[in-house]
A and B are shown apart, each in its own frame.
Chain A
Amino acid sequence: MLLINRKFIVLLAIGLIAIFQPIKAQEKTTVNGTVKDKLSGESIMGAVIKIDQLANIVVTSNEYGFFAISLPKGKYDLRISYVGYEEKRIPIALNESISIPVFLESKNQLADVVVESKRKDDNLIKAQMGTETLNMKSISRVPVLFGEKDVLKTIQLLPGVKSAGEGNSGFYVRGGASDQNLILLDEAPVYNASHLLGFFSTFNSDAIKDATLIKGNGPAQYGGRLSSVLDVKMKEGNNKNYIVNGGLGLISSRLSIEGPIQEDKSSFILSGRRTYADVFLKATDKFKDNILYFYDFNAKANYKVDDKNRIYFSGYFGRDELGLGTSFGINWGNKTGTIRWNRVISNKLFLNTSFIYSDYNYDVNLKNGETKFNVNSNIKDVNIKQDYTYYFNPKNTIRFGFNSILHSITPSIFTGTVNNSINKVGRNGLENAIYFNNNFKANQKLTFDYGLRVSAYSIMGGDIYNLYNGNEKTSSILLEKNAFGKTYFNLEPRITGNYRINELSSVKLAYARNVQHLHLLSNATASSPSDQWIGDSYNIKPELADQTSIGYTRNFKNNTYELGAELYYKDMQNQLDYKDGTNINTIADVESALLYGIGRAYGFELLAKKKIGLVSGWISYTLSKSERKIEGINGGDWYNAKQDRTHDISIVSIVELNSKWSVSGVFVYYTGNAVTFPTGKYSFEGQTIYQYAKRNTNRMPTYHRFDISVTYENRDRKKRETSWNFSLYNVYGRENAYRISFQDDPLDKTKTQIVQTALFRWVPSITYNFKF
């Protein structure tokens, strides 16, 4: 605590210095504006604005394309640039504060690299670490399983990000668990970002504009998870023309429509997707009663009230259905809704107010003779957020605001002819945060991004909270409905510094503390709909992570190549697990079976990119370690977390053959997960039972795979675009181990047999996409 306080004071001091530094007593005026795509009217985040006359000024547009710069009166030339767009030069005469619209025109030849940097050498000036932005337009050529381009699977090819398993959209960032990633869709948290048990993600690429992944060093406006933030933004909808977009694949199809409601004033996008594997199942005798599909639907609209006010509505609805005829069914899905109000309060002050709703639930129903029951579980959030961006002066851009979330979590509750023996009720928790963040350009070489987030989680009434000391229940607290119980306060300081050594290279240093108040209990390795979320309680304390990282970036050959290296160390506190033999879905009080401990993760990440040219792509390498120490597991000693993989390599390459044909390939290689294999066996009641030693000291076999994809694009005179994508997953058909199990040899019961199950060998797919 002392340490935190000291850090906090240092940060505060830096903050004050930044704000109160003497400003020249010259009359200042402000130029502000919104950067947009000329053709679609979509706002552009991260566009770089520079001024010819003042070399040290660099401002970037925010999430809504907005920017503001305070300058002395005079004549200036603004230069606005964004990757994939023609640079635009706008001369201005600044006698009083003005607003200018900026429309950028997309280049004919798109920059194809998926992981783009906003400006050619922007990577060298930004005080942001471990951050990558994926643009949907450009990930379309990276081959993926079933030919369905997928943001969650593409981020797994970045350093420090590991896939949760073969074909799985779940991911681990820097040794953290999968529930330690905050996945946001237009600011709404998505609690289960996968369909079909992980083989698809909930993000329909037709509806998504871009996605930004921040690996633990997020600015103070983000909070609530330990490992990362994945901020996914939906398209706003073209406000000039109507466009129909779609794709037909072997497993699923997509369709989306976008266009203006009133030209230049309002627009919409509607997007839907459904799989149809069940249609094929119906045609077979053996599986005709099986139900298996998912669908999802995205909608967004925006309305420009006047030059200063704009409102956005966005929503997502997705559902998975599995079933056996009418007798058994399970379905689950997310619903999210966001209303956002952008307001330009003054020349320098931008406000966004958001009202956010998010709901994840799953429902199992079983009907069998007289036995009829449902099992239902859900997590629901109602969230209000205000985020101010204050363009104080060209050196300081300040963000501050608050966020207040009411979480309602209902554990698995049985209704019907089967009921929980001890009545279970849902629990509420109130999560509040206030934050302050400043982006401070000290001089042309040195930039800081620092901030403080203060978070508080209050336990709310309506349930009995039991307190445990190890196995023993020591007391119970009955909190009346709407009463507040214990509140956990946490300070979350963050700072990132960037020092530009020379024209070609920079060095970065960062520290951040992250706090997590919601925890996921999962009884399977892959994401399962029956996983249970639980909030802080009297026993469960907020999870904490302190991450320190250092990085070096260098550009080569006129910024064509970029090489980045980062080293991180992360300490984690109050990590959760549960005792062996616990059924987390039926147990009366899951808190009676929880175990607590600590974790540590460290690693080295390398990313080499070729950003432009006919051949582009990247190579990423991660060397890492992730361990846990939990009282009651492995004799209380350190052990490898299951996602601990020593080496992780991804190579992505995209080759532009001509204007119509392109070829791309992905190669992935990683050390197998840490697992526990038996060391011995014994006989009990005549059955073979396995004996185990230390936890997770064994390894799954090394995983590697090569995928290839060929895209043919055609554009006719009426600007209709069609494309064919042919891809082959696992080209050389490696049988990568999905599971390893031990059993008595069926032919000789006195021997033990080790069976390896592999999922996919050669998965070909064809997708037809159209846009008109």
Chain B
Amino acid sequence: MRSIIYLYCAILFFASCDKIITLPIKDNETKVVIDATITDQPGPYFVKLTRSINLNETNIYPVIENGIVIITDNTGIKDTLKYAKDGIYKTKLIQGVYGRTYHLEVNIEGNKYTATTTMPSKVYLDSLRINTFAFNGENQYSIIPVYTDPVELGNNYRFIQKINDTLDNNYNIFNDNLNNGKINQRPLGRGNKDISIKNLDLVTVEMQCISKEAQLYFYTLSQQTGGGPGGGTAPTNLPNNINGGALGLFSAHTSQITSIRIPKF
């Protein structure tokens, strides 16, 4: 809704203009970044360790090769991850099963980072539905993921949308604060301004059932990337589930991928 309001601002004040500027940016405190994911699909699963850099540096992120990464679960499995390459560590024993709780421990040069997460129960993506919307004489398409939210409150979802081969960068983070226990009616939003869904396009959607912590992380991220007049809410580092002062997230989620081709209307 907010984005629609801002769209109106843009229409009304067609005179608005953008320009590239430089700003004096303060030095950054380098932090460890942990990108760790377990899904309900067969492993191995990966943990990526990197460091953050200054804003004006080129996006080449230093990788951490000497970390000790251990994942345990509540069934007693302990898995010490093996370093592969590019800062990525690989699991051997851990299995992604919904309902299980996973504990991550990372040791880097004497600093310890820990995180705990539980994979939520799986809600199945039944199908994808095409939502057509005629506006200003043109048909606009969006995709509605069809699934039935369980009766218990507290389900969180993330949808990743690909249009043909292009990954859309919008964070579609849903929860059941609205329409708990009902079939979803909400379409997915799109982020890339220059790509729209057209006739005969193939749209692929991955549905993830995510934890509450992951919901908070990604929803906050979606609010910060949206921005509003004057900058929106004051941004902060994304709230995450990692203790010890690292950035990133440890997420255990389900995954299901379905695709649909837009017919020629």
A769 to B19, CA, bound (A): 38
What are the 4 closest A-B residue pairs judged by CB atoms, nearest first? Answer: A680-B28, A421-B180, A581-B220, A525-B230
Please determine whether A758 and B23 come into contact, CB atoms closer than 8 angstroms.
no
A residues at B contact (CB < 8 Å) = 165, 196-197, 199, 277, 281, 285-290, 292, 322, 324-325, 327-328, 330, 364, 368-371, 414, 417-422, 523-526, 528, 530, 579-581, 583, 585-588, 633, 642, 673, 675-685, 687-693, 695-698, 700-701, 735, 738-742, 744, 749-761, 763
Q: Given the known A-B contacts A679-B55, A750-B58, are A758 and B17 also in contact in the complex, defined by CB atoms under 8 Å?
A: yes
Which of B58, B136, B229, B238 touches A165 (beta carbons < 8 Å)?
A: B229
Which A residues lie within 8 Å of B233 (CB)?
A: 523-524, 580
For the complex formed, measure the closest distance between the CB of A276 and the CB atoms of chain B, giving whole angstroms: 12
Which B residues lie within 8 Å of A700 (CB)?
A: 230-231
Which B residues lie within 8 Å of A330 (CB)?
A: 1, 4-5
A688 to B53, CA, bound (A): 11
Specify the chain A residue showing the minimal Cβ separation from B175.
A586
Specify the chain B residue showing the minimal Cβ separation from A167.
B13
A683 to B176, CA, bound (A): 29
Please determine whether A756 and B18 come into contact, CB atoms closer than 8 angstroms.
yes
Which of A422, A587, A680, A741 touches B227 (beta carbons < 8 Å)?
A: A741
Which of A281, A681, A751, A759 touches B16 (beta carbons < 8 Å)?
A: A759
Which B residues lie within 8 Å of A289 (CB)?
A: 135-137
Which of B16, B153, B179 touches A418 (beta carbons < 8 Å)?
A: B179
Which of A676, A681, A763 touches B15 (beta carbons < 8 Å)?
A: A763
Residues 91-142 (chain B) with a chain A CB within 8 angstroms: 131, 133-137
For the complex formed, measure the closest distance between the CB of A422 and the CB atoms of chain B, giving whole angstroms: 7
Residues 48-102 (chain B) with a chain A CB within 8 angstroms: 50-56, 58-61
Which A residues lie within 8 Å of B56 (CB)?
A: 752
Which B residues lie within 8 Å of A676 (CB)?
A: 234-236
> B258 on the interface (CB 8 Å rule)?
no
Q: Given the known A-B contacts A681-B53, A684-B35, are A580 and B19 also in contact in the complex, defined by CB atoms under 8 Å?
A: no
For the complex formed, measure the closest distance between the CB of B150 and the CB atoms of chain A, giving whole angstroms: 11
Specify the chain A residue showing the minimal Cβ separation from B185.
A371
For the complex formed, measure the closest distance between the CB of B228 and the CB atoms of chain A, giving whole angstroms: 5
Please determine whether B4 and A328 come into contact, CB atoms closer than 8 angstroms.
yes
14 A–B contacts, CB within 8 A, in A order: A277-B12, A420-B178, A421-B181, A580-B233, A581-B216, A583-B219, A678-B55, A680-B28, A681-B55, A739-B230, A753-B20, A756-B20, A758-B19, A759-B13
Q: Can you name 11 extra interface pairs (CB under 8 A) apart from A689-B247, A701-B21, A753-B20?
A: A277-B12, A421-B177, A526-B228, A581-B216, A675-B234, A679-B25, A679-B29, A680-B53, A741-B231, A752-B55, A757-B16
Specify the chain B residue showing the minimal Cβ separation from A525.
B230
For the complex formed, measure the closest distance between the CB of A251 and the CB atoms of chain B, giving whole angstroms: 9
Please determine whether B230 and A419 come into contact, CB atoms closer than 8 angstroms.
no
Bitwise, B199-232 to A at CB < 8 A (1) or not (0) is 0000000000000000011011101100111111
For the complex formed, measure the closest distance between the CB of A367 and the CB atoms of chain B, giving whole angstroms: 10
Please determine whether A693 and B229 come into contact, CB atoms closer than 8 angstroms.
no
For the complex formed, measure the closest distance between the CB of B121 and the CB atoms of chain A, giving whole angstroms: 17
Please determine whether B54 and A524 come into contact, CB atoms closer than 8 angstroms.
no
Specify the chain B residue showing the minimal Cβ separation from A291.
B8
> B169 on the interface (CB 8 Å rule)?
yes
Please determine whether B33 and A690 come into contact, CB atoms closer than 8 angstroms.
no
Which A residues lie within 8 Å of B25 (CB)?
A: 677-679
A482 to B22, CA, bound (A): 59
Specify the chain B residue showing the minimal Cβ separation from A586.
B177
Which B residues lie within 8 Å of A679 (CB)?
A: 25-29, 54-55
Please determine whether A756 and B21 come into contact, CB atoms closer than 8 angstroms.
yes
A586 to B1, CA, bound (A): 12
Q: Given the known A-B contacts A677-B25, A754-B21, are A696 and B53 also in contact in the complex, defined by CB atoms under 8 Å?
A: no
For the complex formed, measure the closest distance between the CB of A57 and the CB atoms of chain B, giving whole angstroms: 51
Specify the chain B residue showing the minimal Cβ separation from A748.
B58
Which A residues lie within 8 Å of B35 (CB)?
A: 683-685
Residues 216-265 (chain B) with a chain A CB within 8 angstroms: 216-217, 219-221, 223-224, 227-239, 247-249
Please determine whether A682 and B52 come into contact, CB atoms closer than 8 angstroms.
yes
Q: Given the known A-B contacts A330-B1, A681-B52, A751-B59, are A739 and B231 also in contact in the complex, defined by CB atoms under 8 Å?
A: yes
Specify the chain A residue showing the minimal Cβ separation from B149.
A421
Please determine whether A755 and B20 come into contact, CB atoms closer than 8 angstroms.
yes
Specify the chain B residue showing the minimal Cβ separation from A579.
B239
Please determine whether B22 and A754 come into contact, CB atoms closer than 8 angstroms.
yes
Please determine whether A678 and B1 come into contact, CB atoms closer than 8 angstroms.
no
Which of B1, B230, B237 touches A526 (beta carbons < 8 Å)?
A: B230
Which A residues lie within 8 Å of B52 (CB)?
A: 680-682, 691
A678 to B4, CA, bound (A): 26
Which B residues lie within 8 Å of A752 (CB)?
A: 55-56, 59
Which B residues lie within 8 Å of A755 (CB)?
A: 18-21
Specify the chain B residue showing the minimal Cβ separation from A527.
B229
> B195 on the interface (CB 8 Å rule)?
no
A583 to B227, CA, bound (A): 14
Please determine whether A364 and B31 come into contact, CB atoms closer than 8 angstroms.
no
Please determine whether B18 and A757 come into contact, CB atoms closer than 8 angstroms.
yes
Please determine whether B153 and A421 come into contact, CB atoms closer than 8 angstroms.
yes
Please determine whether A524 and B153 come into contact, CB atoms closer than 8 angstroms.
no
Please determine whether B5 and A680 come into contact, CB atoms closer than 8 angstroms.
no
For the complex formed, measure the closest distance between the CB of A517 and the CB atoms of chain B, giving whole angstroms: 24
Which A residues lie within 8 Å of B227 (CB)?
A: 739, 741
Q: Given the known A-B contacts A682-B53, A687-B169, A751-B58, are A369 and B131 also in contact in the complex, defined by CB atoms under 8 Å?
A: yes
Which A residues lie within 8 Å of B179 (CB)?
A: 418-419, 421
Q: Which of B12, B22, B26 has the most CB of A within 10 A?
A: B12
Please determine whether B11 and A292 come into contact, CB atoms closer than 8 angstroms.
yes
Q: Which of A285, A580, A677 has the most CB of B within 10 A?
A: A580
Specify the chain A residue showing the minimal Cβ separation from B58.
A750
Which B residues lie within 8 Å of A759 (CB)?
A: 13, 15-16
Please determine whether B137 and A524 come into contact, CB atoms closer than 8 angstroms.
no
Specify the chain A residue showing the minimal Cβ separation from B56.
A752
Please determine whether A418 and B178 come into contact, CB atoms closer than 8 angstroms.
yes
Please determine whether A525 and B247 come into contact, CB atoms closer than 8 angstroms.
no
